Structure formats: C-alpha cells, structure tokens
Amino acid sequence: MLTSEQSIVEFRAGRVVPDRLTRNMHRHYVDYAEQMLAVYCKGIGRQRCQLHRDVRAIFADEPECPVRRIQAFCKLLDDGSTFQADPAGEAARLRLKVFSEAACLHPLVRRADRLFEHQEDSAKSQLAGKLHTSWDQIEQALYADVMAFQLLVEFEGYANPGALLSRYNVAQLQACLYKAQSVTVMAGADFKTILRYAKLARLLHEIVRFGPSKYRITFSGPASVLRETRRYGVNFAKFLPALLSCRGWEMTAVLRTPWKTIAKLALSESDGFTSHLPAPEEFDSALEESFAEEFGPTREGWRLIREGEILHDRQRVFVPDFTFRHEDGTQACLEIVGFWTPEYLAHRRQTLAQLRRHRILIAVPEKSLRDGADVGDNVLVYKTAIRLGPLMKALEQIRAEKARCRPK
C-alpha cells in the first residue's frame, strides 16, 4: 500500500477524485510499466536507491507525471520485492570497526602530498586487509541496514504491465481512505463475504437490513472515532481490494479535506477497478484459528459452529464469529473485535439490547481498550489469546439463566 505522502487526490465540488490511469488518457503507461518491471526483474543484487533512480529515469521525458506518482510506483514495486535485511546488526558492527580503524588515518585525500600523507585508495586497501575481505564487499555491506542501500534479493513482481497499473489505481483509492470519517457499503448477494473481509480487517461496523438480501454496512473511519489511529487506517485500506473482489455492492466514503471540509467518494463494481486478492481464508485471523483449535469441535457439552447464522431483529443485524450450541439446546454467540471505543460500545449496546434473546458474548483485546470504555458482564478481555476458563464460565452462566427462565 501507499503512504499518505504518495497519495494523489483532488477535491472537486464536494467530490473526491483519486488519481487514476485510464486506457484512453494513459495508454502509453503500459510501456512505462513494462520498463519498470524490467528494471526490477534484472535488478537482483542492486541497491534499492539504484532501482528507484532507474525508475525515475524512465519518466524523465514524461511532462505530465507528478513526482508522487513515480514515488508510488517505486513503493508498489518494492512491495513486490524482497530486499536483504540485517536483523543481526552486522552493518552497524562493521561500521564501528571500519571507522575505528580509519580514525588514525584521518584526513584522507585522493592524492597524497607533503601535508596529507594518507591516500584514500591505499587506506581502503589497508582496512580491507585488516578485515580479511575486499573493499567492494565492505562497501556493499557497510550500510546494508539503511533502507536505501538494501540489496534486491527477489522480485515476485506483477503478472504483466496491466497488473501493475491496475494495482496503482487501487492503491490510490486505498490511500484516500486514510482520511475517511465513515464508509457505507450497500451489499447484496456477497454480503457475508464482504462482512468476512471487514472482520478480517478488524473494522468497527454496524449492519442494517433492508430486505431478504439487502444490507447496509456502516464503518467508522480512521479519521473518526479512532482519531486517525495509523494501524486502524491501514486495516481500513486493506479492506478495499477485498471489497473490489465481491459482487453487487456500492460504497460511499465521507472524507475530511485539507481545508477541514467534507467530501464524498462514491464507488461501485461498475467503476471497473480490479482486485488482486484471492478468496478469503476459512478463518479471519490467526487468533480465531488458534481459538477454534484449542476449543475443539465440542467441549463440556458445547458444540462450536463457525459463523452459524445471520441474527436480525427488524432492521438490526448481527453476524457473530462463532456460535456455541449446548446439548440441552442452549445457544450463545461470540464476536471477536480488534478495536474498542466508547462510541463503538454505545452502538454495540443498542444492538445487543435489541438482540439480547440471542445471548451474545464479545471478546476485546486489552490493548485496544480506550479510556471510558465500560467493560460489561458479556465482555471477555484478552491479551494475546482468548482464555477458555472465563469463556466457559460465561457460557455456563448463560445456561443457568436459561434454566431459571424455563417454565416450571
């Protein structure tokens, strides 16, 4: 994905217009894309800064290509690459050795004379001999921990030039959403898939039902209740390619402009954006997968069901992550959320109050609790994994309540 600094967007009469390369206006960009892919395909062993320099050179004679667009292409090409890392800190240790040895030779000059006797080339040879390697190898490894000087190890790249240009268009859309205050999606046939992706991205959402297969999903944006939390903004942007892979949807995003006004971005599947994403995985996260494995198919008379049903009462809708069904017929639901705010809590309370007959539990990560969030009896707080002890206690409390309410 792109950063905010690589985003190109215009605001026209209350409308949001992200930068987009089209077949009519930018047909010649196919050739540019082919050249950029060639730079990276042939660039194994070269530094990141050298690759970026060659990409900039491709657009040297292109009068209508802003610098941000070139930077965006470099970022997308880097995203499809693997660069040599230095997790052990070897480059820093090498610099300490080289600079310590070179200190006594300061100052170095290109050509020695009576005043300055230490020549640069001979000093480098002397240092290389002490370190038992060549100066070329030292120079290549000296700043390996600096991003600009990292070496390209592998380039998975893009299937073709068109795929790179398509990814650019989607990436500019994603970058727009960093400033979104809210997003509304009207979903039809692919409602459950869209919701699955939203949960995968850990987005705060509310659902309203308008008919047998018509739903409105409202998402809180990163520029709204979470006050531009960066991690949530990235999650929000990740959701867009997933949405593009679905059918029968319309999206409206409300964005805050640099002038503190409001503008809207309208999007639907008819706009022709394409997604690179495959079908969603069975589980929304490693957390849910590990929880399901630890709980098992059954435990103490409770059977675990993955996304058993869509719960609704009039227009209010709720789709839990898990459903638990006991041998005696008692049923409870579990929803795992990634973020929790006082505002989101208020919305969830309304939903839970309306759907209270379904007995819904909510699991919330401790690190996501915000000041003012009131943790109720139906909320399970966890650190890195959902503990089975508190969960089973809550489930048994639900059984006991049902038994008390059963007619005698």
Specify the pTM.
0.76
Least confident of 66-75, 254-263, 279-288: 279-288
Q: State mean pLDDT over 268-289.
A: 74
Give the C-alpha distances (Å, rounded to integers) separating 370 from 51, 109, 219, 367. 43, 59, 18, 8
Q: Is the pLDDT of residue 202 over 90?
A: no
pLDDT at position 287, please? 79
- Long-range CB pairs of 115-122, under 8 A, 24+ apart, other chains included: none
Domain ranges of the chain: 4-82+157-271, 90-149, 286-405
Higher pLDDT, 165 or 136: 165
- Percent of the chain surpassing pLDDT 70: 88
| Highest mean pLDDT pick, 252-256, 276-280, 318-322 | 252-256
pLDDT in tens, 179-196: 888 899 999 878 888 888
pLDDT at position 282, please? 46
Q: What is the CATH number of domain 286-405?
A: 3.40.1350
pLDDT in tens, 339-395: 666 666 666 667 767 776 778 888 887 776 655 555 667 788 888 888 999 999 999
Q: State mean pLDDT over 136-165.
A: 91
